[in-house]
């Protein structure tokens, strides 16, 4: 059984979705950079070990990442899952967990990297938006894609409504991605390419607005 460590900074809704999915992997610990992260209490209530490595104690990113890695490695993880962990990680940290560090991002990467993805999508008037699970690389939000989901942007969408619908989809695809990783159906090869044994055919095309057909 694969060991999983989850990193959070807040409520950890994606962490909660992973727990609810009852994965075959063992969630060894939940670690946060904030002691008041609500997700820590949730994890404790479910009998999962927790730890805090506060970034405010380390003026340099490299020192924080080194301290964080030391705590993570004490749980011997096969995979490190970022679930709303709001820190930009150093290249050395990312390299240490190459092929084992996973993130979910609220856009259809490579579109809308960084923050405020929903507001930017609305401002640009896109008709389709979504979210992406990907391997983490030193190039922020540009790692190899494991799975994506797209939804239509509705005419009356606000940042709040669009965010809520995207979050619902995040809670569906993140457990699936981690399940594939734990079963060995998805991995990263030596060339940084995703090798997948998942052969499910995609659903029909999403067109927004819909075609005007008789």
- Residues involved in catalysis: 105
165 close to 158: Cβ distance less than 8 angstroms: no
6, with CB counted inside 10 A (0-12, 13-18, 19+), is buried
Could you say which DSSP state residue 194 is in?
E
C-alpha closest to that of 68 among 141, 9, 146: 9
Please provide the DSSP assignment of 77-120 as one string.
-SEEEESS---PPPHHHHHHTTTTEEEEESSSTTSS-SS-HHHH
Task: State the Cα–Cα distance between residues 158 and 164, nearest whole angstrom.
Answer: 10
């Amino acid at each position: 059984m694969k060991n999983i460590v989850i990193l959070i900074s807040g409520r950890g809704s994606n962490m909660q979705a992973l727990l609810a999915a009852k994965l075959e992997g063992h969630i060894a610990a939940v670690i946060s950079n904030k002691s008041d992260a609500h997700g820590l209490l949730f994890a404790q209530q479910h009998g999962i070990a927790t730890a805090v490595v506060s970034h405010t104690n380390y003026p340099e990113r490299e020192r924080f990442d080194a301290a964080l890695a030391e705590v993570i490695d004490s749980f011997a993880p096969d995979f490190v899952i970022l679930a709303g962990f709001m820190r930009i990680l150093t290249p050395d940290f990312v390299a240490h967990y190459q092929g084992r560090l996973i993130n979910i991002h609220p856009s259809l990467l490579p579109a809308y990297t960084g923050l405020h993805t929903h507001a930017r999508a609305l401002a640009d008037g896109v008709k389709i938006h979504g979210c992406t699970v990907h391997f983490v690389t030193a190039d922020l939000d540009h790692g190899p894609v494991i799975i994506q989901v797209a939804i239509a942007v509705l005419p009356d969408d606000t940042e709040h409504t669009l965010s809520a619908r995207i979050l619902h989809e995040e809670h569906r695809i993140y457990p699936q991605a981690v399940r594939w990783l734990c079963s060995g159906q998805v991995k990263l090869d030596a060339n940084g390419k995703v090798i997948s044994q998942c052969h499910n055919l995609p659903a029909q095309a999403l067109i927004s607005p819909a075609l005007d057909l008789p």
